[in-house]
Amino acid sequence: MEKIDWGHGWNVSKLCFGVLPIGPAGKNVPPAEAGEILLESFRLGVNFIDTAQSYRTYPHIRHALDRHTGEKIYVATKSGAESYEKMEEAVVEAQEELGLEHIDIFHLHAARVQPDVFERRRGALECLKDYKARGIVGRVGISTHSATVVARAAAEDAIEVVFPLINRTGHGVLDGDRDDMIRAIERVHEAGKPMYAMKAFAGGNLLEDRRGALDFVTSLRGIDVVAVGMVNVKELLVNAAVLEGSEVDEKLWEETARDNKQMFIAPFCAGCGTCLDHCPNDALYLEDGKCKIRREQCILCGYCAPDCPQFAIRML
């Protein structure tokens, strides 16, 4: 797997393993089984993992890290904490549950936060800066679906890594369209900050043309690394091959395209509406006392699932 030079001795794989769908909000693969899939990705040369406090996948990652004896694995996590105290709790939680003294990247988790995120979360950002100064956090970043926030991140001195949503159709981009996001990404690149992209497949909507989808994203200046959510070794093999420009077995290609994710809401949904506040794309609504999905707007990000009090939302 080709590695990308991010400076300061960092060389990260072009494919970043996104662990959201393998955890409780998605396929709910047991931690030990998920850890073995991650270990297989390490054997293929993937050395970059993206997770978050809300994904509840730290045990899955720790299973792999505790058994890995090869090259360094870079771990990025994130938290929606707004205050200094809550972010400090999030950093300590990540250290303890991952079994790591040092977290390579810690993001402000700001998928749907308004453009004033740096003012709203100044306390959390100060905390991350302090933990970076102490050598516990390697780089401070922001994860966002907003073109405006990406543009602002270019000029925010404390932000060193940006994790934007971008895909060929612009599906899921907030505060603008695809071209607005591309212009914002260009600003970050000009500021000399490394980036890696999310939602290159638009939540599974572009799976049938994975080469085209990934080629589009990696053609953007400054984006050489793509985080892809994966739940099994088949998906891992296909995505690694596509990013490396290798041939993919036709049967494997068809199987993984057919395994498109879907979001389901169980009949026991209580209609509380909590999930609506966590959907970045207004894809959820209440009708007849139950949550419903506007599938044309859903990007299968999974952010709603961990916050459902009844655990009625599943990504399968």
Q: What is the CATH number of the domain that holds 279?
A: 3.30.70.20
Residue 248: pLDDT band by 50, 70, 90 thresholds? confident
Same domain, 81 and 136: yes
pLDDT score at 31: 97
Same domain, 244 and 195: yes
Of the residues 234, 258, 282, the one at which a domain ends: 258
C-alpha distances out from residue 180 to 50, 114, 186, 188, 191, Å = 25, 16, 10, 13, 17
Beta bridge partners of 198: 165
Residue 14: pLDDT band by 50, 70, 90 thresholds? very high
Answer yes or no: are the C-beta atoms of 105 and 161 closer than 8 Å.
Answer: yes
Three-state DSSP class for residue 263? strand
Domain count for the chain:
2
Same domain, 135 and 10: yes
pLDDT score at 208: 80
Same domain, 225 and 288: no
Average pLDDT over residues 145-152: 96
Q: Which helix (H) or strand (E) holds 186?
A: helix 178-190
Of the residues 258, 279, 297, the one at which a domain ends: 258
Return contacts of 66-71, CB within 8 angstroms, 24+ apart: 66/99, 67/35, 67/39, 68/39, 68/42, 70/42, 70/43, 71/42, 71/47
pLDDT score at 217: 97
| Distance of alpha carbon 285 from alpha carbon 316, whole angstroms | 20
Same domain, 285 and 214: no
pLDDT of 220 higher than 90: yes
Separation of CA 155 from chain center: 22
Same domain, 11 and 53: yes
* Encoded tokens for 242: 């596509």
pLDDT of 71 higher than 60: yes
pLDDT of 120 higher than 90: yes
- pLDDT > 70 fraction of the chain, expressed in percent and rounded: 96
pLDDT score at 260: 55
Average pLDDT score over the chain = 92
Residue 298: pLDDT band by 50, 70, 90 thresholds? confident
pLDDT score at 314: 67
**Of 28, 72, 26, 83, residue with least CA distance to 49:** 72
- pLDDT > 90 fraction of the chain, expressed in percent and rounded: 71
Answer yes or no: are the C-beta atoms of 137 and 131 closer than 8 Å.
Answer: yes
Place of tokens 């700001």: 110
Same domain, 195 and 281: no
Average pLDDT over residues 191-202: 96
Separation of CA 166 from chain center: 12
Average pLDDT over residues 230-236: 94
Residue 311: pLDDT band by 50, 70, 90 thresholds? low
Torsion over CA: 176, 304, 229, 39 (sign): positive
Same domain, 156 and 209: yes
pLDDT score at 253: 83
Same domain, 144 and 286: no
Which domain, by its residues, includes 183? 3-258
* Encoded tokens for 24: 């409780």
pLDDT score at 236: 95
* Encoded tokens for 73: 């694995």
pLDDT score at 51: 98
Same domain, 24 and 105: yes
Same domain, 23 and 87: yes
